[in-house]
Amino acid sequence: MPSQIKKYSLPAILALGLAALTLSACGGSSDDSGANELAKYVPADAPVYVEGAVQPDSEVAANVDSITDQLAGINLGDLITSSIESDSEGDVDFDADIKPWLGENAGVFVQFDPASFASGTDGISEMSALEDTSAYDTPDEETFGLIVQTTDTDAAQSFIDKQVESEGGATDGEYEGFSYKVADDDGATIGIVDDNVVVGSSEAEFKAAVDASKGDNLAGTDAFGDLSDKVSDGALASVFTSNDPYVNALKDQGFDLEGLYSALGIDLEGTGTVVSLVPEESEISLNGYSSVSTDLTSGDPSSVIETFPADAIFAAGSGDVGPNATKIMNALNDEGIPGVLEPGQVDKAVNEASGQIDIKGIVESLETVAFFVSGTNRNNLGGALVATSSNIEPIESSLRGISSLIGLANDASVRPLPGGVAGFRVFTPDLPGRPIVVGVKGDRMVIGVGMQASLTALTGGGQTLANSDAYKAADASTPEDGLDMFADPANIAKLVLSEGAGDPDAREIAKILARFEYMAAGSSDSEGSFEFNLGLRK
């Protein structure tokens, strides 16, 4: 949040609006279409816009209360109300000063130059800039505008006047028939526009909201029209982002990647993404949709993920890796990247590295690539990267040759794998009792840490995630998008406690994690949708 936001600008209004957009207060009779009306007060070129229910309908409000009660034993509406009153040092009484005029929905837009996030760099080619984290600080030019619906503009104006009087130091102004007040200390501007309270981090942003309501605005853009139709039912808040500002920023810095995008079937113009926060009785969901079209596909890695060890605390993967990687390699070879990679250099590098191995053939044969981490303390922590292939023979032949040479060398630190499995294991002092394993069996290649975890990943035998109740619940939470990622919060909590023994913060983090049954993520190529779910223990 911009540092220029101070007490006057929102002793209650901004605190109320932004807190409500994250997790709201009390229930109402919210109309889902009402929030979209606020986009008419947002400049058409705003790169980020957030809208949500300040007073959600009774079902959404009940779900919010259920979640916050299970997680923290609190009523969020009461917490927000008391926080507003506390932050205003007694100058604001929510029930008397705000509730009489507070409408159902609120929205906030943020304006900034995407190129300023990389200030201090001279293009992507200056890779050393990656070491300078200050280059990615929030830009000073970031500004915002907040729009809150009202049910009683007179009551809202009385609240504004009361705040100005208690804070002191404001200048009156008028623009396009709307009066407003500008704080003398930080320039924050507040006024009534139509039936809304509008707050700008500056006078310019207040005027931008007024101009948008009378001319070009976000609601009138094709991108927003497409995205707003994809807001999830029961959403408490939604975040809209447009891709055009970022694409244009790259072009301004000399990186016109249109040729590369075209080769990959990616169309970014006029597209964006919407992510909705959807509270359910025992689950918190982030449901998203992207209007970007692409020839790349994500596939479904769940058939591999579910064969991972049952004690895996985290697992993720992607399908169709080979076809995607081949398309990307060919596109990079044909188009290059301005100032970074010349056309033809990818093929040259692959040919120089190949030798007797068909690198392109191996890459093209890849199907699913996934990995997992298992263990609940430092001593039993392990994991593996697993790749399935439609033609594993070249890799298997190479590993069998290496295994034979290792066997002849009789080196205690590097040994062939047992049971006739093609591959080898490497013992290091840094990982006592847990060798690094490289092996192939069936259609799988595995690079892992720990014999048990690696061999389970190779064979898919024993107790696997498919037998885990937490995994089953996670898989059931993404029936349409498929499962791309799974995490077991209870086992992560054990790891946190083990590593932070005696640390009160570690105990508190573990306590919160243990209240969740699963974390899950999935995506759908055909629908352009994706989701991330947190399931609470019932």
Give 475-511 pLDDT, tens digit per residue: 999 988 889 999 999 999 999 998 888 889 999 899 9
Say what the pLDDT of residue 83 is: 56
Confidence of residue 134 (pLDDT cuts 50, 70, 90): very low
Beta bridge partners of 422: 440
**Extended beta strands in 151-245, E state:** 170-175, 178-183, 189-193, 196-200, 237-242
**CA 136 vs CA 140, 242, 312: distances in Å:** 11, 20, 34
Give 294-336 pLDDT, tens digit per residue: 888 878 899 999 999 888 999 999 999 999 999 999 999 999 8
4-8, 264-268, 296-300: least confident range: 4-8
Q: How many CB atoms lie within 10 A of CB 76?
A: 23
Give the span between the Cα atoms of 364 and 350, in whole angstroms.
13
Say what the pLDDT of residue 89 is: 55
3-state secondary structure of 264: coil
Those residues with Cβ within 8 angstroms of residue 157's Cβ, 6 or more apart along the chain or in another chain? 192
Those residues with Cβ within 8 angstroms of residue 358's Cβ, 6 or more apart along the chain or in another chain? 394
Lookup: tokens for 100? 């009489």
Say what the pLDDT of residue 227 is: 92
Give the span between the Cα atoms of 316 and 487, in whole angstroms.
9
Give the span between the Cα atoms of 271 and 107, in whole angstroms.
20
Give the span between the Cα atoms of 379 and 192, in whole angstroms.
62
Say what the pLDDT of residue 76 is: 56
Say what the pLDDT of residue 421 is: 85
Lookup: tokens for 512? 């919160």
Those residues with Cβ within 8 angstroms of residue 521's Cβ, 6 or more apart along the chain or in another chain? 316, 478, 483, 484, 485, 530, 531, 532, 533
Residue 39 main-chain phi, psi, to 5 deg: -65, -15
Give the span between the Cα atoms of 185 and 188, in whole angstroms.
8
Give 321-374 pLDDT, tens digit per residue: 999 999 999 999 999 888 788 999 988 888 887 766 678 888 889 999 999 999
What average pLDDT does range 162-170 have in this prediction?
74
> Percentage helix, strand, coil, to 5, in the chain?
40, 25, 35
Confidence of residue 141 (pLDDT cuts 50, 70, 90): low
8-22, 205-219, 240-254, 264-278: least confident range: 8-22
Q: Where are the alpha helices (DSSP H) in 366-488?
A: 393-409, 451-459, 469-476
1-5, 24-28, 417-421: least confident range: 1-5
Average pLDDT, the chain: 81
Do strands 283-290 and 272-280 pair parallel, antiparallel, or not at all (unpaired)? antiparallel
The letter for the amino acid at 307 is T
∠ CA 309-314-320, rounded to 5°: 85
**CA 302 vs CA 293, 484, 513, 532: distances in Å:** 24, 6, 24, 15
Say what the pLDDT of residue 200 is: 92
Give the span between the Cα atoms of 207 and 145, in whole angstroms.
10
Confidence of residue 118 (pLDDT cuts 50, 70, 90): very low
Rounded-to-10 torsion of CA 485, 488, 491, 495: 40
Q: Tokens 């990995």 correspond to what residue?
A: 371
Say what the pLDDT of residue 4 is: 33
- In this predicted structure, the answer to whether residue 35 has a pLDDT above a threshold of 70 is no
Distance, C-alpha 283 to centroid of its chain? 17
Say what the pLDDT of residue 7 is: 34
DSSP 127: G
Give the span between the Cα atoms of 493 and 514, in whole angstroms.
6
pTM confidence score: 0.81
CB 149 within 8 A of CB 116: no
Closest CA to 350 of 340, 358, 341: 358
Say what the pLDDT of residue 32 is: 46
Lookup: tokens for 221? 């853009």
Say what the pLDDT of residue 249 is: 82
3-state secondary structure of 374: strand
HSE of 54 in the Cβ direction (CA atoms, 13 Å)?
26
DSSP 96: I
- In this predicted structure, the answer to whether residue 91 has a pLDDT above a threshold of 90 is no
Lookup: tokens for 329? 């390699």
CB 236 within 8 A of CB 25: no
Percent of the chain scoring above 90 in pLDDT: 37
Closest CA to 309 of 478, 448, 437: 448
The letter for the amino acid at 342 is E
Q: Is the dihedral of CA 6, 12, 13, 17 positive or negative?
A: positive
- In this predicted structure, the answer to whether residue 25 has a pLDDT above a threshold of 60 is no
Q: Is the dihedral of CA 94, 98, 104, 105 positive or negative?
A: negative
Say what the pLDDT of residue 197 is: 93
CB 530 within 8 A of CB 475: no
The letter for the amino acid at 31 is D
Confidence of residue 415 (pLDDT cuts 50, 70, 90): confident
Do strands 444-449 and 436-441 pair parallel, antiparallel, or not at all (unpaired)? antiparallel
